Structure 1
Amino acid sequence: MAFSTAITGLKASTTELDVTGNNIANSSTVGFKSARTEFSDIFATVVVGSGSANSPGSGVIVSDIAQDFTAGTIQFTNNNLDLAIDGTGFFQLNDGQGGITYTRAGGFELDKDGNVVSKNGNFLQGFGLDAAGNRQPIGNLAVSQKESPPKATSDMDLSFNIDSRATPSNLAYDPDDSATFTFSTTNSTFDSLGNENTIKFDMIEQGAWRERQSISLIDFAGLGLNAGDSFSLAGGTISVVAAGTPPDPALGQIGDDTTAANFASRVAAIFNDAATPLQNQVGWDNRIREVSDDGSGNLEITWAASAADVRPVVLNHIDTVGTGTTTALTNVNTQDPFFAANKVESYAFSVPAPPLTGTNPFITIGATQVGINTTMSASDIVDEIIKNTNAILSANPEIDTITKDSSTGQLVITYDPELGDEPTVPVSSTNVTGLTIGAGSFDETGDNSYQGVYQMHALFNNSTPLNIGRPPQPGSGLTTSEAGPILLTFDTTNGLLQTVNGLPVSATGSAPSITIAGADPANPNNTISLDLSGTTQFASESIVKASTQDGFTKGDLIGVTFSAEGVMVASFSNGQNSNLGIVALASFENQSGLQPVGDTAWSATLASGQAILNPPGTGLNGQLRSAALEQSNVNLSEELVALIEAQRNFQANSKTLQTENQVTQTILQIN
């Protein structure tokens, strides 16, 4: 009996030595999990006559070699395909023949077909992803995309600040001359073949001026004007009625007796009538501020300063009664493209033949008094006022200049253009009799609508003007936009973007989208949507605040990495990334029931239960660490102590066997 008991002890100790030795041997094996030997005693009994108090036992047996699934230390590497699980879970591997195993050893690589495989060639399992990013069934994880196709730019976001302190230029726009624009920025774009191009945006601040055009008639006498005919002017319609019917300017009418000599005055009367339909007609260019007769038979068109993008007005005659043809009658000449936007008032001083009389006479101009004497002529009085210009300007800041008209001798007061048409400084005389101050022969209305107005030009590859939504000229008959500048306006009280191409910015600051056409030579049908939200006009340096676009050229695969959530991401040389799949991690109801199968892997058993597969970071699964490996969880210090204990147990059982042998020998020697 004692021999058998000692032998079981030797066997158990030998197994313990084997387990401990195996742990020590795999102390550097990636993903290895240590084991411990668990023992149970052997107790033999009989049915009859047994008594537990008198039974010595029959020895020991190894009841289990238990796995310790405590996580090992995570060590970082330089290989993005090295994966470590920070928490619970196992990688699922498929040998390609239907064999499924599970491991914590995350040293993976790519095979010749781009599959992610373990060191022994088993395929790492994961969830596929469709184009929308939805998870697909479990399968082999693979780098299926070796290049990234080009994408044409379709969306651009651009915001900038234009320094409100910048001085507008009165030079004609030249894209090659920075002196002709206020601010410029160039942005890269890509066409549908992946070619990189540029779009240059030039901003031109509108100065304190308006454009005035003079329209001279061509062969008006040969028209054969008849009642029922009409004229089109900047999108508005002027109808012709019979001379016997008094034309009504409020209805936009002129008589069929209209001649070249009186045409301009009659059209001006239509425009200036408070009830005229011309200004209210659909299609009429409402940027026109004044229509007048220049006194020489020419029709003068004065645009609002905020127009900023003036195109010549064409006058057409529609011969409805006669041939039914349309004839252009105008020769357009721009008299003064930089006609001042200041309000101008002129005053005529008149002195009668008898001398002036009065004691201590003076002229009052706003808050300034200018002394005169009764011997002065009208011209002398104006000269005396001019001598006091500095004092007048200092006391009346709304006045920009005071001059004397060289041809009429009148006093001309020009106001600050920023004040528009509001200011009027009174001019009067005091303590003088005989002096008359009257309005002069001309008055110009002020116009401060230019403030915060910018032309925005877009040039493709610094040369070709792009179509960015410029509206067609009113009256042209065109219905689509054309190449050329559009207008941006800013709120001068807070510097925020106010309108884009005539459309208002929302209360939340979202700017209307600009559609850019013609920026993709490879596919003319492609357009780019430009968002200028966040653009401002503050009194600070002109800068680009944000600039993005969604196009890119063709790219080659340069690497693969994994996110903490297990997403396999392919990176390409064009800066793009593509999600190729998600690593699947397995968890078990009883991981201690897993069966070791070698190569640091386990297989599922009835005791462990079936694997539950989820992405990292969900359910019971830990997160994934890329470029990292989980080291063995073997504690060498503990294993060396366990080795000594196993050796001691073996020696003790050997001693038991030796002692039993000596006892037996003694018995055999008894005579």
Structure 2
Amino acid sequence: MAGFSTAVTGLKASTTMLDVAGNNIANSSTVGFKASRTEFGDIYATAVVGAGSANVAGSGVTVTDIAQDFKAGTIEFTNNNLDLAINGSGFFQLDDGQGGVTYTRAGAFELNKEGYIVSKNGKFLQGYGLDADGNRLPIGDMAVTQKESPPKATTEIDLSFNIDDRKDSSTLLPTYDKDEPGSFTWTTTDRVFDSLGNEHTIKYNFAEQRPVRQVLDFNVSGTPFSVTNPDGSTAAGAIASVSGVGLSPADFTGGYLDPTSTAYQALSEADPRIDLASVAYDGANRVSFELKASATDAGDLIVADDTGEVANINTRVEDRYRDANEVRVYNLDLAGVNETISIAGVDIPVGAGDDSAEKQAELINAQQARIVDKHPAIESVNAETYIDASGVSQVKLIIRYKSDEGNIPDAVSGGVDPYPVSVAGVSQDIAWDDDRAYQGDNSYMGYYRMYAYLNNTEMLDIGKLQDPGAGTSSEPGPIMVKFNPTNGLLSEINGEPIAAGTQVPSITIKGADPANDLTEIKLDLTGSTQFASASIVNNIQQNGYTKGDLIGVTFAGTGEMIASFSNGQNQALGVVAIASFENQAGLQPSGDTEWTATLDSGDAVLNPPGTGLNGTLRSAALEASNVDLSAELVKLIEGQRNFQANSKTLETLNTVTQTILQI
């Protein structure tokens, strides 16, 4: 009777079902385990020729497949950064070092003694290496090979700050001294590192330009000598040379350097810091001149006579600093109707109804832009009224000149006034006794000399051009940093103007790396301001660091293996590879929660996590088994029931057989 065989197949199938359920239950706590499911198929024996299936009894059941359920298990977090879980589809690829490649979802990895990342059974986790530029290399064994982070010299500094606009530069000490806080406006420091990882500090001092000019006096021998000018010409009979330009007595007219002389032109090209109109010679043994208000300092300004270089003796100490802006004040006689007020060549007609002081002051103020446009040397023109000693309203005219103009000739001093003032053709006298005849250099408010010092001792080269006669490269010293007085934003750095919306030029710092003279640091002052609020640092960052030791490894969601070092640096050492298959159900289980590829599964396609269909990576996490214990217990009941039912089939067939034998 075929029924015996049929019942036996049912017993075998039920036993297999119980075995699969038992295996699932046994692995309910196995990391990365995927539950299996028993799939059955019926058995029918068919004849080549004969009746159809309607009158053919089945031959039992067979186990057609033990299919794996690859749905994701619950991700559980741990305290080990080398525990990895895939949040989504994909498998880790493992290599046993002998050509055997398997795939797993169990991410409980560890480091072996050589620093390789391995599974619990010693197989190597596969991933992409990275070159120095971060480009991916071919897939290989992932390892933590970088045990320390070498030091890096500082090459970039970002510094943004606010300097208080309310600070009064006129209160600064006349002579700058890095150790005297009263001689500069504000200071801040930043730490940097040299090529060996030693930490240093760079101190920045900002000294706002004082509203004064520096007057320099030199005693010269008066004995004529020959000097070669920077342009190669020879000045015979020179009594002195200034910045390499020979000055002869014939170059002076009325005690001042003649603007038509060759020396005048040569000196204007050799040293732009000098106000040429102030260069004077007393005919005996003294040469003097003023530096423009925009000059940062005297620096290495070279003055020589026939004996060699001479020292600045500053004999006129009381005149060493004078107000940089000349302000002329005129007490105007009122112009009558149909007469003209003339200011620096700009005529202002006085019409009917404009005969009062108030009206004439309005007329003058209305022409300020015209006057300033015609004469760039004039900074402002302002007319106001006052009551004289007789109780009559009068007009006071105040003309302020730009600081770089220096002393402006006038008729009183025997010169020719380039900006005469007249009323109805009558020249007006300057009211020198007015307390505003000289005023501070407001045009240079917001102009700062910036100094930098290594460890507060050595002055650094931050781009200051060498003084005329000393060379053409840069040297240690201050540079000029300027702010726009109307909006408080940076307007110029070291002679480079900054247009709105353009990149702020960087400052090159040399000599800040005692271990390597070739190291240069780019200092970026983007975002610095001059507002009327406390002087503070808004941001300061630099890219150098000291040596560091490995303190841990973490993984990013996109698979990068990041090494962390004690110096605060992180370095990507590689990228975990994730394998995907066209038919993951075709993978063959190989034990240890691993699978091998088969013809049914197809070849593995490797990509970083988070690309294509691959899931992302979770560090310090493990994927738990996806076994549903409740479902498996039900399957045990079903398997037991099926086994008992098939046993009953055997028992019944045995009874029938015994009955037949007893006939």
TM-score (norm 2): 0.80
Instruction: Answer whether contact 1:236 1:284 (CA < 8 A) is retained.
Output: no
1:284 aligns with 2:287: no
2:323 corresponds in structure 1 to 340
Change (3 A) 1:477 1:629: same
Q: In 2, distance between residues paired with 1:531 and 1:107? A: 46
Following the alignment from structure 2 to structure 1, what is the Cα–Cα distance between the partners of residues 75 and 557? 14
Aligned counterpart for 1:237 among listed residues 241, 245, 257? 245
Residues 287-317 of structure 1: CA deviation (Å, up to 9, x unaligned): 5364144868533312222223233744335
**Distance in 2 between the 1:496 and 1:287 partners?**
28
- The answer to whether structure 1 residue 669 and structure 2 residue 627 are counterparts is no
Return the offset for 1:636: 1.4
Aligned match of 1:404:
none
Paired residues for 1:288-437 under 5 Å: 288=275, 290-293=277-280, 298-311=286-299, 313-316=301-304, 327-328=308-309, 331-333=312-314, 335=317, 336-345=319-328, 367-372=384-389
8 Å CA contact retained: 1:312, 1:332: no
Structure 1 SS opposite 2:523? strand
Closer/same/farther in 2, CA of residues 70 and 392 from structure 1, 3 Å limit: farther
How far residue 398 of structure 1 moved from its aligned partner, in angstroms, is 8.4
Gaps of 5+ in 1: 241-253, 256-262, 319-325, 350-361, 374-383, 400-410, 412-420, 431-435
Distance 1:445 1:182 in 2: 21
Could you tell me how far 1:522 is from its partner in structure 2?
1.4
Q: Distance in 1 between matches of 2:588 and 2:106?
A: 16
Q: Which secondary structure does the structure 1 equivalent of 2:134 belong to?
A: coil
RMSD: 3.7
Secondary structure at 2:574 match in 1 = strand
Residues 104 and 227 of structure 1: CA distance in aligned 2, closer, same or farther (over 3 Å): closer
Q: Name the structure 2 match of 1:176.
A: 179
* Cα offset, 1:238, TM superposition: 4.5
Change (3 A) 1:533 1:274: farther
How far 1:139 moved relative to its partner?
0.9
**Aligned residue for 1:221?**
223
Q: Given the superposition, is the C-alpha separation of residues 158 and 267 from structure 1 closer, same or farther in structure 2, using an over 3 Å criterion? A: farther
Cα offset, 1:497, TM superposition: 1.2
1:655/1:237 CA distance change after superposition, 3 Å: same
Give 1:147 deviation, angstroms.
0.4
Helix, strand or coil for the counterpart of 1:541?
coil
C-alpha deviations, 1:529-579, integer Å up to 9, x for none?
212222221222212122111111000001111111111111111111111
Distance 1:470 1:80 in 2: 51
| Residue in structure 2 matched with residue 647 of structure 1 by the alignment | 640
Aligned equivalents of 1:423, 1:35: Cα separation in 2? 103
Q: Percentage identity across aligned positions?
A: 55
Residues 85, 106 of structure 2: 8 Å contact kept: yes
Partner of 2:652: 659
How many residues end up aligned between the 2 structures?
588
Number of the residue aligned with 1:459: 453
Q: Which runs of 5+ in 2 are unaligned?
A: 228-233, 333-356, 362-382, 401-411
> What code does the residue aligned with 1:537 have?
Q
Cα 1:437–1:90 shift into 2, 3 Å: closer
In 1: Cα distance, 2:597 partner to 2:430 partner:
109
Structure 1 residue 426 displacement after superposition: 9.3
Partner of 1:516: 509
Q: Pick closer, same or farther for the CA change 1:275–1:458 going to 2, 3 Å.
A: closer
Query: Could you tell which deviates more after superposition, 58-67 or 336-345?
Result: 336-345
Distance 1:98 1:291, change over 3 A: same
Q: 2:133 maps to what in 1?
A: 132
Superposition map of 1:71-220 within 5 A: 71-168=72-169, 169-171=171-173, 172-217=175-220, 219-220=221-222
**Cα distance change of structure 1 residues 444 and 367 upon mapping to structure 2, 3 Å threshold:** closer
Structure 2 matches for 1:465-476, cutoff 5 A? Answer: 465-474=459-468, 476=469
| 1:512-591 superposed matches below 5 A | 512-591=505-584
CA distance in 2 between counterparts of 1:542 and 1:134 reads 44
Structure 1 residue 623: Cα displacement:
1.2
> Could you report, residue by residue, the CA deviation over 1:491-535 in whole angstroms, capped at 9, with x for unpaired residues?
212212122122222543422222212211112222212122222
Aligned: 1:619 with 2:606 = no
- Give runs of aligned pairs for residues 245-260 of structure 1, distance below 5 A: 255=250
Deviation of the 1:30 alpha carbon = 0.8
Q: Distance in 2 between matches of 1:460 and 1:51?
A: 102
Distance 2:268 2:134 in 1: 54
SS of the residue corresponding to residue 179 of structure 1 reads helix
Output the CA distance in 2 between the equivalents of 1:231 and 1:660. Answer: 140
Question: Residue in 1 aligned with 2:480?
Answer: 487
The one-character-per-residue Cα deviations of 1:625-666 (angstroms, maximum 9, x if unpaired) are 111111111111211222211111111111111111122222
Shift of 1:478: 2.2
How far the C-alpha of 1:328 sits from its partner, in A, is 3.7
> 1: distance between equivalents of 2:516 and 2:138?
38
- TM-score, structure 1 normalization: 0.79
Deviation, 1:115, is: 0.4
